[in-house]
Each structure stands twice: as structure tokens, then as C-alpha cells.
Amino acid sequence: MATTVKGLKGVIQVPGDKSISHRSVMFGAIAEGTTTISGFLPGDDCLSTISCFQKLGVDIQMVNEETVIVKGRGIKGLKEPVDILDVGNSGTTIRLIMGILANTLHHHTLIGDESIAKRPMKRVTGPLREMGINLDGRQDANFTPLVIRGGKAKGIQYHSPVASAQVKSAVLLAGLQAEGTTSVTEPEKSRDHTERMLEAFGVQVKEDGLTVSIEGGQTLKGTHVEVPGDISSAAFFLVAGSIVPNSRIELKKIGINPTRTGILDALKKMGAAINTIAANREAAEPFADLVVETSSLKGTEIGGDLIPRLIDEIPIIALAATQAEGTTVIKDAAELKVKETNRIDTVVNELTKMGANIEATEDGMVIHGGTRLHGAQVNSYGDHRIGMMLAVASCIAEGETVIENRDAVSVSYPQFFNHLDLLKS
């Protein structure tokens, strides 16, 4: 990609939120009646979710790229698939679907790509086994291929060792048909789309501090889901607009669910000029228009309960920190090691190739700011968020940057490079 950019200017509508798009299809599939989805993200991960539920007998039509109609089969109506369920690169699909399939007595084999084969599944298969569900897989059900035959779940009170929306969601979804009450307690609050969306589908969910509970035997009713823009995708432009000189970017209808807005808190603390120009905070999933302009950033410390609120944005925050004055310390983020890649290592290795002064730690990284980046041959290693972070880095790097495996961005943001080019012109 070309040499330093003179400024990024314009208005962008980033695609729909990935977490909400997955759940809209999944919950629509097990609801009674029809669910219509607008603003759906047609990224590879969400298309994997559609394809899995089609194999489970659900009629899902894409009216156009962003409008989907799901004809729900009810919670007991999924068919036994004649084929394996392939989740591609999507951790959300494989972990949540296990919760949904837990109470069927059907046979299912779940696989994914090379990255999924390395991601730990015991965090979900463990509690599901505790609930009485029959599951198996490589290394005692920790890795794909996984086989789930289901069973009749008993409610459990599960204390999760990690703050993970995927673990919480899988256990709660299994709890929907379990005997009695199922609850999940987390060390910190993870994103709460499952709780908010189950309520929109007519399910009662109770929250008490860090514990979420669900009563077994509830059914879902089809509804309309309006998916806001994905703040994790907007994050790349929030940082690009902050660090590329002479920039002003307006981002339309971005989801601002408080469990996802850690990126706004962190960037504002670093001195970023981000303003909200219109907001709907009453919607089940609140959203706002945001404007970012170039500013001088300073280093900061990021850790504790902020981490689950910005976990997917850490690669792009690390890039912002290379341009900040002073040092940025990111800690309590060991979860980064079990994402699409080990995101501590990939961020550190790839940004080092571009001249950043950055070190990996056991649970995060330390970034010494104020460095001039230079073009280099870098690699996304198939991780969409690394590919987009490197593309933003190339905008401030002197000389040419070549990003291998840049197509990985289609997992969550298929039009990313077009949008970046639009802002450059």
C-alpha cells in the first residue's frame, strides 16, 4: 500500500455489528415465527452462521446483502443435519451454537478453519458437560472437530474463570431448555448482546451484578432486529482519524452499547478528539454518529474491567500508542492469546517490522510512543483485525507497505479497503 497519506476525510457507514448479526440469525432460527434483520453484516463469519442454521433446516433468505429474513423453527424444531457444520473462522458461531444444540438429541459434528482448530473450546464444553450434555472432541473436547449429541440439560450456577460473552452466551442458551435455573457469574462484565437480544425475543433474563440467570422452559418469539454499525470496525477509523494529519471522519450509526465502548474511553483518555453528534440511547442496542479529528495523543494504562469492553480493539489501540507521547501499558489482556491469532505476538511482531518500539508481556504489551513508522512486508496471518490495523499503519508509514493475507478483512468488514480509499481521495 502507498506511502504516507495527506489526510482522511469523509463520511462512512461501517457495516453492521458482527456480534449482533450472529445472534439475530441464531435467535431468529430458534424463535417461533419470522424474524427480519436490517443492517446485517454480510461478512464471512456471519455467512458461516447462516450456512450452519440452513443445514439445521432453517429457511433463511437474504433479501439483499443487509436484509435477512429468518423463518424460525422454534426451539425444538431444528433438524438433524446430514452434513458437518463448518463455522469457518468464527469463534462466536462455534461457541454459541453448542449452547443451542445442547438440548437436541441429534448428532452434530462441528469444524472450522486452521485458526478455529487452535482456539480452546473447553471453556464451553466444560460447563455444558456439567449440565449433562454429551460432547466430545480432540484433547477431551478442547479442540475441533467437536461432536455434540446433546441431552437433557440441568441448570447450573456457573462461575466462569474468564470474562467471555461467548462462554456466558453458550451456557445461557443451553439454560433456555434446561431443568431449573441456569446462571453465569463472570469476573468482569463481558458484552451483553445476548441478554439484551433474548429480552427483545421475549425471554426473561435476570441480572444481578456480575451474575446473569435464565429460567428453563422459555420460548422465543420472532421479532425485527435493527443492527447498528460495529464499533469494533469503526475503531479502525477512530484511530486513523486521530493519527493521520489533517483528518476529519464522520461515522454514522455506530453501536454504543456500554459493554463495547471501552475504545471511546481509552482514546479520549489518550487525548483523541472524538465527538458524538447524534445519539439514540433508548434503543435496545443504542447507537450514535461519531466524528473524529486529528489530535495529539498521549500514552496511557489500560487494564482491569476496561479490557472486556475493548478486547477486540487492542491491536488498533496499540497502533495509536506508537504515535502517542510517552508509554502505553496494556495489561490483564491474556485473552488476546486465544483469538484468531495470538494477538499479543502478531501485533508486536508486525508493528516491530514497521519500526515500532513495542514489547510483549505475559498479559499484554508495553508501547513506547512517538516512533515514525516505515513501510515493510507484513502479514495479517489470516486475522481480520490485524489486517485492518496494518492497513491503517500503512497510512502513516514512510515508503511502501505490503500486507500479506489482506483478504482476511472480509471476516468482519468486506468493504474495508474501499472505505479507506474513499477517505483518502
Shorter beta-carbon distance to ligand SPQ: residue 412 or 415: 412
Closest residue by beta carbon to ligand SPQ: 91
Nearest to 86 by CA among 136, 125, 49, 43: 49
Find the shortest distance in angstroms from Cβ 2 to ligand SPQ.
Answer: 27
Q: Which x/- pattern, by CB under 6 A, does the window 273-312 give for ligand SPQ? A: --------------------------------------xx
| Interface of this chain with ligand SPQ, residues 52 to 81, rule: CB under 6 A | none
DSSP conformation class of 325: B
Q: Does 339 bind ligand SPQ (CB under 6 A)?
A: yes
Cell matching residue 303? 487494564
Helix (H, G, I), strand (E, B) or coil at 191: coil
312 given a catalytic annotation: yes
Q: Does 112 bind ligand SPQ (CB under 6 A)?
A: no
| Interface of this chain with ligand SPQ, residues 80 to 99, rule: CB under 6 A | 90-92
Find the shortest distance in angstroms from Cβ 338 to ligand SPQ.
Answer: 8
User: Which residue type does 181 have?
Assistant: T
Find the shortest distance in angstroms from Cβ 166 to ligand SPQ.
Answer: 3
Q: Which x/- pattern, by CB under 6 A, does the window 175-214 give for ligand SPQ? A: ---------------xx-----------------------
Distance, first Cα to last Cα, the chain: 14
- Residue of 192, 285, 313, 340 that binds ligand SPQ (CB under 6 A): 340
Can you name the residues that pair with 33 across neighbouring β-strands? 72
User: Which residue type does 203 have?
Assistant: V
- Residue of 29, 52, 68, 165 that binds ligand SPQ (CB under 6 A): 165
Nearest to 120 by CA among 407, 376, 339: 339
Find the shortest distance in angstroms from Cβ 95 to ligand SPQ.
Answer: 7
Helix (H, G, I), strand (E, B) or coil at 181: strand
Find the shortest distance in angstroms from Cβ 285 to ligand SPQ.
Answer: 13
Q: Does 164 bind ligand SPQ (CB under 6 A)?
A: yes
Distance in angstroms (rounded) separating the CA atoms of residues 49 and 200 = 20
Can you name the residues that pair with 134 across neighbouring β-strands? 150
Shorter beta-carbon distance to ligand SPQ: residue 24 or 166: 166
- Residue of 385, 390, 401, 423 that binds ligand SPQ (CB under 6 A): 385
What's the chain's length in residues?
Answer: 425
CA distances from residue 91 to 45, 143, 164 in whole angstroms, order as listed: 9, 12, 12
Total residues at interface with ligand SPQ (CB under 6 A): 17
Strands 181-185 and 211-215: antiparallel
Binding segment (CB under 6 A) for ligand SPQ, from list 159-167, 172-180, 291-299, 392-400: 159-167
Find the shortest distance in angstroms from Cβ 132 to ligand SPQ.
Answer: 23
Instruction: Give strand ranges (E) for 13-78.
Output: 31-38, 59-64, 67-73
Distance in angstroms (rounded) separating the CA atoms of residues 395 and 393 = 5
CB 115 within 8 A of CB 382: yes
Binding segment (CB under 6 A) for ligand SPQ, from list 67-75, 161-169, 272-280, 395-403: 161-169
Distance in angstroms (rounded) separating the CA atoms of residues 234 and 207 = 29
Nearest to 38 by CA among 233, 253, 218: 253
**Residue of 83, 312, 383, 407 with catalytic role:** 312
Find the shortest distance in angstroms from Cβ 128 to ligand SPQ.
Answer: 15
Q: Give contact residues for ligand SPQ (rule: CB under 6 A).
A: 18-19, 45, 90-92, 164-166, 190-191, 311-312, 339-340, 385, 412
User: Which residues form the catalytic set?
Assistant: 312
